[in-house]
Amino acid sequence: MSVEPTDSNAPATAASSDFIRDIVAQHVAEQRYAKIVTRFPPEPNGYLHIGHAKSICLNFGIARENGGQCNLRFDDTNPVKEDVEYVDSITADVQWLIAGWADQCIGFKPKGAHPALITSNGKPDLFLGPVPPTAPNSEPFFASDYFDALHGYALELIKRGKAYVCDLTPKETEEYRGAPDKPGRDSPFRHRTIAENLDLFQRMTAGEFPDGARTLRAKINMASPNVWLRDPLLYRIRHVAHHHAGSKWCLYPLYDYAHCLSDYLEGVTHSICTLEFVDHRALYEWILEALELPRALPHQYEFAKLHLGYTLVSKRKLLTLVTEKIVTGWDDPRMPTLSGLRRRGIPASALRTFVTSVGVTKFDSVTEVAVFENAVRNELNTLAVRRLAVLKPIKIVLTNIPAGETIPCEATNDPQSETPTARTITLTREVFIDSDDFAEVPPPKYFRLKPGGEVRLKYACIIKLDEIVKDAAGQISELRCTADLTTRAGQPNSDKKVKGTIHWVSATQCLDAEVRLYDRLFNVAEPGSEEDFLKVVNPHSLEVVTAKLEPSLAAAALADRFQFERIGYFALDPRDSAPGKLVFNRTISLKDAWTAKK
RNA sequence: UGCCUGAUGGUGUAAUGGUAGCACAGGCGACUUUGACUCGCCUAGUCAUGGUUCGAAUCCAUGUCGGGCAGCCA
At A386, the pLDDT band (50, 70, 90 cuts) reads very high
pLDDT at residue A91, as a whole number: 98
Cβ within 8 Å of residue A325, ≥6 positions away:
none
Q: Is A533 helix (H, G, I), strand (E, B) or coil?
A: helix
Q: Between the CA of A495 and the C1' of B33, what is the distance in angstroms?
A: 9
Q: Can you tell me the distance from the alpha carbon of A570 to that of A564, in angstroms, rounded to the nearest whole number?
A: 7
Q: Tell me how far CA of residue A195 lies from CA of A124, A167, A192, A235, A574, in angstroms.
A: 23, 16, 8, 18, 60
Stretch (H or E) spanning A518: strand A511-518
Q: Between the CA of A365 and the C1' of B54, what is the distance in angstroms?
A: 38
- DSSP state for residue A523 in the 8-state scheme: S
Q: Would strands A562-564 and A568-572 be described as parallel, antiparallel, or unpaired? A: antiparallel
State the burial class of residue A370 (Cβ atoms within 10 Å of its Cβ: 0-12, 13-18, 19+): exposed
Q: Which residue is nearest to nucleotide B67 (CA to C1')?
A: A364
* Strand B positions closer than 7 A to protein CB: 1-8, 10-16, 23-27, 33-38, 66-74
Backbone angles phi, psi at A508, to 5 degrees: -100, -15
At A15, the pLDDT band (50, 70, 90 cuts) reads low
| C-alpha angle A538-A541-A545 in degrees, rounded to nearest 5 | 145
Q: Between the CA of A394 and the C1' of B21, what is the distance in angstroms?
A: 50
Q: Would strands A141-142 and A69-74 be described as parallel, antiparallel, or unpaired? A: parallel
pLDDT at residue A4, as a whole number: 58
Q: Which residue is nearest to nucleotide B73 (CA to C1')?
A: A78
Cβ within 8 Å of residue A306, ≥6 positions away:
A50, A51, A53, A54, A313, A355, A358, A367
DSSP letters for A370-417: HHHHHHHHHHHHHHPEEE-EESSEEEEEETTS-TT--EEEEEES-TTS
Read off the pLDDT of residues A125-174 as tens digits, 9 standing for 90 and up: 999 999 999 999 999 999 999 999 999 999 999 999 999 999 999 999 99
Give the predicted TM-score (pTM) of the model. 0.96
Please give the average per-residue pLDDT across A283-289, as a whole number: 98
Cβ within 8 Å of residue A258, ≥6 positions away:
A75, A77, A143, A146, A150
Read off the pLDDT of residues A472-519 as tens digits, 9 standing for 90 and up: 999 999 999 999 999 999 999 999 999 999 999 999 999 999 999 999
At A14, the pLDDT band (50, 70, 90 cuts) reads low
Q: Between the CA of A360 and the C1' of B16, what is the distance in angstroms?
A: 16
Nucleotide closest in space to A227 (CA vs C1'): B70
Q: Can you tell me the distance from the alpha carbon of A191 to that of A178, in angstroms, rounded to the nearest whole number?
A: 19
Q: Residue A316 pLDDT > 90, yes or no?
A: yes
Read off the pLDDT of residues A86-134 as tens digits, 9 standing for 90 and up: 999 999 999 999 999 999 999 999 999 999 999 999 999 999 999 999 9
Q: Between the CA of A408 and the C1' of B4, what is the distance in angstroms?
A: 70
Query: What average pLDDT does the structure give for chain A?
Result: 96
ipTM given for this complex? 0.96
Cβ A148 vs Cβ A141: under 8 Å: no
Cβ A459 vs Cβ A426: under 8 Å: no
Read off the pLDDT of residues A537-579 as tens digits, 9 standing for 90 and up: 999 999 999 999 999 999 999 999 999 999 999 999 999 999 8
Q: Between the CA of A43 and the C1' of B66, what is the distance in angstroms?
A: 29
Among candidate residues A329, A334, A338, the one with its CA nearest the CA of residue A517? A334
Q: Can you tell me the distance from the alpha carbon of A216 to that of A165, in angstroms, rounded to the nearest whole number?
A: 4
Q: Which residue is nearest to nucleotide B4 (CA to C1')?
A: A279
pLDDT at residue A7, as a whole number: 46
